[in-house]
Amino acid sequence: TLQQKDEWWLKNVYKGDMRQLTLRSGLTGAVLGSVLSLTNLYIGIQTGWTLGVGITSVIVSFAMFKFLSRFNFSTEMTILENNTMQSIATSAGYMTAPLIASLSG
The residue type at 18: M
The residue type at 79: I
For the chain, percent of residues with pLDDT exceeding 70: 97
Average pLDDT over residues 14-35: 92
What pLDDT is attached to residue 104? 59
Average pLDDT over residues 21-33: 95
String of DSSP letters for 67-97: HHHHTTSSPPPPHHHHHHHHHHHHHHHGGGH
| pTM for this model (two decimals) | 0.81
Q: Provide the 8-state DSSP code for 94.
A: G
d(CA 19, CA 65): 15
d(CA 35, CA 93): 8
Residues 37-64 pLDDT 10s? 998 888 888 887 877 788 999 999 999 9
What pLDDT is attached to residue 58? 93
For 22, list phi and psi in degrees, rounded to 5. -120, 170
